[in-house]
Amino acid sequence: MKKYYDYLPKEEIKRRLNKLRQRMKKKGWEAVLVVQNVDLLYFSGTMQKALLFVPVEGEEILMVKRDIERAKGESALKEVIPLNSWREVPTVLNDLYGSIPKRIGIELDVLPAREYLRLQGIFSGVEIVDSSPLIMDVRKIKSPYEIDLMKRAGEIGQLVYAEVPKVLKEGMREIELAGILEEVAMRHGHQSYLRMRAFNFEAFSWHVLSGCAGGMLSYIDAPMGGIGLSPAFPVGASLKPIRAHEPILIDFGVCYCGYQVDETRIFCLGKLPKRFKDALLATRRIEAEVVSLAAAGISCQKLFQKGWELARKLGYEKYFMGPPNHKTRFIGHGIGLEIDEYPFIAQGHDYPLEVGMTFALEPKMVFPAEGAVGVENTFMVGEKGVEKLTLAPEELIEI
Amino acid sequence: MKKYYDYLPKEEIKRRLNKLRQRMKKKGWEAVLVVQNVDLLYFSGTMQKALLFVPVEGEEILMVKRDIERAKGESALKEVIPLNSWREVPTVLNDLYGSIPKRIGIELDVLPAREYLRLQGIFSGVEIVDSSPLIMDVRKIKSPYEIDLMKRAGEIGQLVYAEVPKVLKEGMREIELAGILEEVAMRHGHQSYLRMRAFNFEAFSWHVLSGCAGGMLSYIDAPMGGIGLSPAFPVGASLKPIRAHEPILIDFGVCYCGYQVDETRIFCLGKLPKRFKDALLATRRIEAEVVSLAAAGISCQKLFQKGWELARKLGYEKYFMGPPNHKTRFIGHGIGLEIDEYPFIAQGHDYPLEVGMTFALEPKMVFPAEGAVGVENTFMVGEKGVEKLTLAPEELIEI
């Protein structure tokens, strides 16, 4: 059958597994068992239903429940074997490695408790530790291969934002515009299904918030949530009709081959009132300030503080990153296969930016019951400062 | 601010909590702590970031981390209070109820292990048991209120399928058609974000599988998976161009106010070859046979067996529900707020259909490397047999 996409190169997988093993060695861990679909993709190249066993020494093995043929085709790993049940894993490991590790790392931030308890039963006497901090530490530095996919996601974003002035009409519902943009993005290869790691959080593309919707908070730790379609989805685009002279905030996440970028632009039907215009300019100044400082070696917390300092200086303390008492804890977040990765540009995150990190920076201003404005771009940290991956024009577009 | 949607009626919540309490009493449980977003919505009417404590006797309490004002507006529950951290829960419960239960039910099939371990620390000395079987048992019977939302999802499905003949063109990529259908559905209020409960499974609307794509297996326990956009999303629509004379299987899930329906129809550009046509007719005969038997009181396993009996009699053993050795374990599944609910029309599921259950029945035939055909509809169990909620015409559409 014709191939419609590329598989993850073997060298890419090897480098990733090497990095994981370096961290395992430091911790004194004998093995990691990768269980989550995104982590499986990252370390094996396939997202088929499987478990990946990575011993600190020796060959890793991918045990596949379904579909084994597809997993063999997609993964460049040498050892890809069928597995009927998790119960078989200890026997498989014993046969292959001669023993079962005393301690195994598993992603406890995503593995459901029921499965955890089941694995405890299967691996009786084995200490199960949380491997997610190690895995997220490996994943936080992107390779040129990964950056390239994020750039292609950024290109789809440009097409999405270019569509807005062509289709936006007064009275159109937010969800209607969202659907049109989703169609444009999918036509160009957008995966549509975004991914977030945290429990109970759901990532999606179509944050289209007009006027008062931009002032609505919701369960997400974001400056604004939107009205949403119902209490069953209380975020993002809604049935609200878009009106003239209100800020239309479009925060459209694009995903290409699993890799995501975040980008926000502001539109308006007719003239946008001056206070929103000024607030938007303020967010762009804050972005410019943070970007001018952002480079390998600088503390993420420091960038957060610098952004806040300027917001205060410009007189936007009340509006920046949400209403008083509801401010987000960050002004930017790492992004890649998931939209809640390291680094976080946030208070308490006093670690340095490193070359290869990618993050979305999103200075935003919220006026409760009135609207929200702001700018968001995804950046990669290069040898000299940061490079923007989301290239739609940043200027306010009045239609 | 203008309201763009309705909130869950108080009576609905009361009935649901009563049912839960009946089951808790039977088990001898003192309390359930609801933690998952979908279950929170079901029992409180809001999906804000919260915990819902349900004692077997006394008033339930919704403790909200974010956003408290929104939760108060959306939920008809009397006791909605702010919560800063899960650590506070024991103190809150002690203050309100005078003691902490000895045993608390929590949804262990979805709560991540890390959060489970954290709760074990917070509730030291309390036995934590798995409440999901109880909750799913309550949720499996839908009220007229819920059925109405599913009917409205079904109406959106009709508009989606009616669009296909208008837009389908030779050479169009599967994902392009998928995007157009997504746009149509969203314009009519489709939530776009579908939900599935099982770990590592991701629900989405746009299963558009043409020709050989219909013969591709993937990680999901479904007769076919599709090519997908990349190894990072190895299911559903792909970049494959749609050609004449190949079966185009469109399995488009629609979600309205959180409630989902599943529906599959077959299209073809030009004439569909006879073997696919015959196979499609066979699936429709199987559907008719199962539907004629389906009624409150009949065993789900019995329906499964009846479907399989007819498939064999018609000579489709090799193709029915997937290729040999890769057959799905079911021919139908419960559906509602999630697409993997009770009942399962499957071997080993020897319990009766009950009035108010809703399920998708999906007899399908898979020809590896060639294509797939079949029909899927969502039904509700009424007093007299079942009623179909997905009303797009079932006949093959040749364009």
C-alpha B49: how far from chain center: 22
Q: Where are the alpha helices (DSSP H) in B81-187?
A: 89-97, 113-122, 132-139, 144-167, 174-187
The per-residue pLDDT for A2 is 83
Calculate the average pLDDT of chain A: 97
Contact B200 A37 (CB under 8 A): yes
Would you call B66 and A180 a contact, using CB atoms and an 8 Å cutoff? no
Assess contact for A164 and A267: CB atoms under 8 A.
yes
Mean pLDDT of the region A27-32:
97
Q: Give the chain B residue nearest A75 (alpha carbons).
A: B231
Q: What is the pLDDT of residues A253-300, one digit of tens each?
A: 999 999 999 999 999 999 999 999 999 999 999 999 999 999 999 999
CA distance A206 to B105: 35
Nearest Cα residue to A42 out of A12, A63, A65:
A12
For chain A, the farthest-separated pair of C-alpha atoms sits apart, in whole angstroms, at 72
Is B234 in contact with A48 (Cβ distance < 8 A)? yes
How many CB atoms are closer than 10 A to CB A50?
26
B186 with A199: Cβ contact below 8 A = no
What distance in Å separates the CA atoms of residue A380 and residue A386, rounded to the nearest whole number? 5
- The architecture of the domain spanning B10-139 is 3-Layer(aba) Sandwich (3.40)
Instruction: List, in sequence order, every residue forming a beta bridge with A66; answer none if it has no partner.
Output: A49
Architecture of the domain delimited by A144-398: Alpha-Beta Complex (3.90)
Given this model, what pLDDT does residue B93 score? 97
Nearest CB partner across the interface for B234, out of A70, A178, A217: A70
Q: Are B267 and B397 in contact (CB under 8 A)?
A: yes
CB atoms within 10 A of CB B376: 25
Which of B47, B186, B204 is opposite residue A232, by nearest beta carbon? Answer: B47
Contacts of A41 in chain B (CB under 8 A): 231-232
Q: Matching CATH topology for B10-139 and B144-398?
A: no
Residues of B in Cβ contact (< 8 Å) with A117: 108
Question: What is the rounded (10 degree) CA torsion for A266, A272, A273, A278?
Answer: 40
Q: What are phi and psi of B146, to 5 degrees?
A: -70, -40
Q: Smallest CA–CA separation between A239 and chain B, in Å?
A: 6
Residue of B8, B116, B179 with shortest CB distance to A183: B179
Tell me the shortest Cα–Cα distance from A336 to chain B, in angstroms.
Answer: 12
**Exposure b/e, A299-332, CB count within 10 A at least 16 = b:** ebbbbbebbbebbeebebeebbbbbeebbbebbb
Whole-number percent of chain B with pLDDT over 70: 100
B343 contacts B357 by C-beta, under 8 angstroms? yes
Q: Is A14 helix (H, G, I), strand (E, B) or coil?
A: helix
Q: Which residues of B touch A116 (CB under 8 A)?
A: 113, 116
- Determine the Cα–Cα distance for residues A77 and A12; give it in Å rounded to an integer: 11
Sequential DSSP letters for B279-304: HHHHHHHHHHHHHHH--TTSBHHHHH
A259 chain-B contacts, CB cut-off 8 A: 232
- Verify whether the Cβ–Cβ distance A48 to B232 is below 8 Å: no
What is the distance in angstroms between the Cα of A290 and the nearest Cα belonging to chain B?
Answer: 28
Residues 6+ apart with CB under 8 A from A154: A254, A261, A263, A378, A389, A390, A391
CB contact (8 A) between residue A67 and residue B217: yes
Place of tokens 């969203």: B186
The rounded percent of chain A whose pLDDT value lies above 70 is 100
How many CB atoms within 10 Å of residue B103?
A: 15
Task: Tell me how far apart the alpha carbons of residues B251 and B236 are, in angstroms, rounded to a whole number.
Answer: 9
Closest residue, chain A, to B112 (C-alpha): A112
Run of H or E including B306: helix B300-313
CA distances from A29 to A1, A134, A248 (A): 42, 11, 50
Q: Check B112 against A110: CB less than 8 A apart.
A: yes
CA distance to partner chain A, nearest, from residue B5 (Å): 6
At A288-342, the pLDDT tens digits run 999 999 999 999 999 999 999 999 999 999 999 999 999 999 999 999 999 999 9
Classified as helix, coil or strand, A200 is coil
Domain boundaries, chain A: 10-139, 144-398
Structure-token pair, residue A65 = 């429940």
What's residue B2's pLDDT? 83
Size of interface A-B (CB pairs under 8 A): 237
Closest CA to B123 of B145, B100, B98: B100
**Terminal Cα distance for chain B, rounded:** 47
Q: Which of A4, A113, A258 sits opposite B112 (nearest CB)?
A: A113
Contact B61, B82 (CB under 8 A): no
Q: Is the pLDDT of residue A1 over 80?
A: no
Provide the ipTM.
0.97
Residue type, position B377, single letter: N
Query: For strand A248-252 and strand A206-210, is the pairing parallel, antiparallel, or unpaired?
Result: antiparallel
What's the alpha-carbon Rg for chain A, to the nearest Å?
23
CA–chain centroid gap for A189, Å, is 18
Please tell me the distance in Å from B106's CA to the nearest CA on chain A: 10
Yes or no: say if A77 and A13 are a contact pair by the CB < 8 Å rule: yes
Task: Quickly tell me which residue has 């608390």 as its tokens.
Answer: B104
Instruction: List CB contacts (< 8 A) between B258 and chain A.
Output: 230-233
Q: Which parts of chain B sit beneath pLDDT 50?
A: none
Which residues are paired to A321 by β-bridges? none
Q: Please report how many Cα atoms fall inside a 13 Å half-sphere around the Cα of residue A226, on the Cβ side.
A: 27
pLDDT of the residue at A30: 97
**Unique residue bearing structure tokens 């074997």:** A81
Nearest residue of chain B to residue A128 (CA atoms): B113
